[in-house]
């Protein structure tokens, strides 16, 4: 991957096609972990 927007999203395991991540990115991020800070 180049340092493109989509490439970086993929590397962080985030949605690439414009889904909203604030509320429901659970599919890409995995199961909810209570009180665990996600690594940026």
pLDDT digits (tens, 9 = 90+) for 2-36: 567 676 666 666 666 665 655 555 555 555 665 55
Rounded Cα gap, residues 14 and 34, in angstroms: 18
Asked whether 16 and 10 are in contact (CB, 8 A), the reply is yes
Question: pTM score > 0.75 for this model?
Answer: no
* 3-class secondary structure, 29: helix
Q: What is the pLDDT of residue 4?
A: 75
């Amino acid at each position: 991957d180049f340092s493109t927007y989509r490439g970086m999203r993929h590397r962080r395991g985030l949605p690439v096609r414009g889904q909203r991540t604030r509320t429901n990115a659970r599919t890409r991020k995995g199961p909810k972990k209570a009180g665990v800070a996600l690594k940026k």
